[in-house]
Structure 1
Amino acid sequence: MVATLLTIMVVLLALGFPMMIPMIVAPLVLMVIFFPNLDPMLLVQQMMQGISSYSLLAVPLFIFAADIMTSGNTSKRLLDFVGAFVGHLRGGYAITTAAACTLFGSISGSTQATVVAVGKPMRQRLLSVGYKDSNAIALIINASDVALLIPPSIGMIIYALATGESLSELFIAGIGPGVLIFLFFAIYSWIYAKIYNIPLAEKLRWGERLNVTKKALLPLGFPVIIIGGIYTGYFTPTEAAGISVLYALIIEVLIFRSIKYNEIPKIALSTGLVTSAVFILVAAGQAFSYVIQFARIPRMFSEAVLGGEPTALTVLLIVAIFFFIGCMFVDPIVVILILTPIFYPVAMDAGVDPIHLGTVIVLQAALGSATPPFGVDIFTASAVFNKSYLDVIRGTPPYIVMLLIASILVILFEEISLFYRYLM
């Protein structure tokens, strides 16, 4: 049964079909062959159920807010703000890049949006002070991975949909690992700048810093609204997504005037195209999950790969390996939708905290999205910077090593991800 499922998916992918086709066809064939008494219309019902969740409304709204900010001045003002305080330090421009990716990630929730918004201006600044292009691009695509961890992480939303876990708890659990990765990158940037004698940028006077801070106050309101509003109980994550769109429109259209009214439909169309792809994948993932659960494939997989009664640590290590490798080849959303239903029941039986499991899974998705051979951020950077595939991946090994170390720490010390939940 498992062999049939995998064979169908591999053959369809090899023939060039988009991922949602194998995710629908493979479970349908499995039903017809092994469970002929099941009505195939059940798959249609499951697909509709998959996209009927209220929480899923947050996805297009957060994407729309990110598209508005990417088209406007938000990213530039955030870059200027961070650079005003750390740009003059050793490795300051690189630290600014990592910090800006973290800040913009707390607004957009998308690694690819962060590559575009932060990468374009920061790459030129890094090159102007002596960084190699390979190191600059590698820093940008790997620092952008933090966007998949910290709220409003699209990866956390998809995991919540696949498991039914609390999205608010998942959002706050991603903050610790995100900050840890930023600290790793900041320390490495300082060491790199010292070794290669990267010149220091000019230190701004306090009056200039105050001026830059004033300009950044409105963009900095995004994480305050999203995180503060959710955890003070004023609104749900989905409502926070709607408020973020309204806030983005107000500051970019009415206050900054960086976007004209007639440009909004074009931005909305771009959001619609991305959202439609995500929703089709979510619907297909729900149908896929239903069939493999009915066929007891997760239990079979657990017994074959993990043994009879695996420990929590063993499960987390296997989860990390499978998700990391999967996201090296396939879009993270697809991997989360396919593998989570397989590993989630096994992890719960082993006593793994579901929120900790979600953090580990999304961290591996973030790591894989910037890792060769087919990490999605690699191709985004290649298109944005007009660089070859080899040029983009040349400087990535040190950052991949740091992300792997961060993954091990998160797996071994669940307090990194659960501390803020306990605090709340």
Structure 2
Amino acid sequence: MGTVGLVMIAMLLLGFPFVITLITPLMVYLGLEMPLVNPQVIIQQMINGFAAPSLVTVPMFILAANIMTSGKAANRLVNMIRVFVGHIPGGLAITTNASCTLFGAVSGSTQATVSAIGGTMRPMLLKAGYSSSFTLALIINASDIALLIPPSIGFIVYGVVTATSIGKLFLAGIGPGVLIFILFSIYVFFYSKLRNIAILEKASWAERKQALKEGIPVMGFPLIVVGGIYAGIFSPTEAAAAGVAYGLILETFLYKTMTWKKLVQVLLDAGIVTGVVFILVGSGQVFSWMISFLRIPQQVMPAIIGTDPTQLQLIIVVVIAYFVACMFVDPIVAIYVLSPIFQPYVVATGIDPVLLGTLIVLQAAIGSATPPFGCDIFTAQLIFRRPYFEVIRKIFPFIGILILSTALIIIFPQIALFLPQTAGI
């Protein structure tokens, strides 16, 4: 596999798209080291990667998120939260945390949340006196909560790869998401107070009533998706379809922002994003097949975890592996490649797959915001036109809080497991 690594590094340095850097080295390896293997197996494995019926939810949730982000949902949500907490120390930063958390229930995507909430909140944060680096770090890391709050593409992919209930995974992400929101809010409260950051004038009850009237309908989306799954009314696929219908009704008839021209653009954008996601899924499946075909796990894993690992030892190894991997590659690819490697050991040690899935998606969220190559760092660079080192300068306290959250979930697993254990699914 040294050939694969060298070709991949060379292509990354030359600026090739990430998907190409995954597939091409494998083709080179097959040609040089396994000439008897038909190259068509790559295409077959890519098709196998996105053939799972559960992946139907992915384009539906992407479409629902595009509908909601194309209109006024993000601004209404931000305003609803701001009028209640903007007057306390760190109020605008707490508004950012809460908006990212709640918007995660609409978008399920960290990048979409960085764009929608960050674009609205960053000018307000800068005007209040926060440094540019702090606002960028806050937006990037608060947006990572979106990967835990359902609907989450990370949970869908993990559920497909490991045959774990996606409905239970969705519910398991809520507790950790709320925990991270609380810890982030405590941090920004004291950060703002120590630096005497300006606070907003307290909103009147009339302003709060109006903001609630405009913002509460946005919360119908998570109520339909999460409430419907929790109550056993919807499967995840049905919830995704219901979310699309609700988004169309909200933006067309209530907010009146959806036109035929905009709807066509929303559909095209959803198709492009879906295509990118499914190419990543297929590429991850190819890489996973190659690793399995060469029996790399059987050669490497015993040296890493021993012959009889405890549950805690395995959890720690898995957490570190995903954290490091997601600093360098897209979380979807990391989940596809690493999950089959660890799955036999997970089954053998009896670790709850829902708990492990929650920890894995949390590591995907942390890695997405961690240097050197966390994908949200480059998303923020692109959206806000700021240099790399400015984006990452104030990021590390937030990373520390996310690592603390990981430790708390390992010590107190009911943070993740309470809701799925009490649900009727």
For 2:29 and 2:172, the matched residues in 1 are separated by: 37
| Superposition deviation, residue 285 in structure 1 | 2.0
Alpha-carbon distance, 1:173 to partner: 0.9
Q: What residue is the counterpart of 1:95 in the other structure?
A: 94
**Relative to structure 2, which stretch is displaced further, 38-47 or 305-314?**
38-47
Q: CA deviation at 1:241?
A: 1.4
CA deviations over 1:45-84 (Å, ceiling 9, x no partner): 3322221222111112211222222221000111111112
Q: How many residues align?
A: 423
Structure 1: how far apart are the matches of 2:396 and 2:42? 42
For residue 328 of structure 1, what is the aligned residue in structure 2? 327
Q: Alpha carbons of 1:375 and 1:300: their partners in 2 closer, same or farther (altered >3 Å)?
A: same
Kindly provide the CA deviation profile for residues 183-222 of structure 1, in whole angstroms up to 9, marking residues without a partner as x. 1111011101210112331212223212211111210101
Q: How does 1:159-170 map to 2 (within 5 A)?
A: 159-170=158-169
In the other structure, the counterpart of 2:192 is 193
Conserved? CA contact 1:157–1:167, under 8 Å? yes
Query: Which segment is superposed worse, 227-236 or 5-14?
Result: 5-14
Structure 1 letter corresponding to 2:271: G
Match of 1:262 in 2: 261
CA RMSD between the two structures: 2.0
> Would the aligned equivalents of 1:230 and 1:240 in 2 still touch at CA under 8 Å?
yes
2:128 equivalent in structure 1: 129
**3-state SS, counterpart of residue 151 of structure 2:** coil
Give the superposition deviation at 1:330: 1.6
Q: Tell me which amino acid in the other structure corresponds to 1:327.
A: C
> Structure 1 stretch 152-161 or stretch 83-92: which is displaced more?
83-92
1:220 to 1:43, Cα distance in 2 relative to 1, 3 A: same
Work out the CA distance in 2 between the residues paired with 1:19 and 1:416. Answer: 35
Give the drift of 1:7: 4.6
In the TM superposition, residue 265 of structure 1 has moved relative to its aligned partner by: 1.4
Contact 2:284/2:334 (<8 A) preserved: no
Question: Which stretch shows the higher mean deviation, 29-38 or 253-262?
Answer: 29-38
Paired-residue identity, %: 49
Does the 8 A contact of 1:302 with 1:346 survive in 2? no
Alignment of 1:205-224 (within 5 A): 205-224=204-223
- When residues 347 and 26 of structure 1 are mapped into structure 2, their CA distance, relative to the original with a 3 A threshold, is farther
Instruction: Tell me which residue corresponds to 2:405.
Output: 406
Deviation at 1:270, TM superposition (A): 1.7
1:150 aligned partner: 149
SS at match of 1:357: helix
CA distance in 1, matches of 2:26, 2:410: 32
Post-superposition shift, 1:117?
0.8
Using the alignment, how far apart are the partners of 2:26 and 2:164 within structure 1? 25
Deviates more, 1:294-303 or 1:268-277: 294-303
Alignment correspondent of 1:375? 374
Are the structure 2 counterparts of residues 24 and 345 from structure 1 closer, same or farther at C-alpha, using a change threshold of 3 Å?
farther
Whole-Å Cα distance in 1 between the matches of residues 346 and 20 of structure 2? 28
Structure 1 residue identity aligned to 2:376: D
Deviation at 1:412, TM superposition (A): 2.8
Please list every run of 5 or more consecutive structure 1 residues that lacks an aligned counterpart in the other structure: none
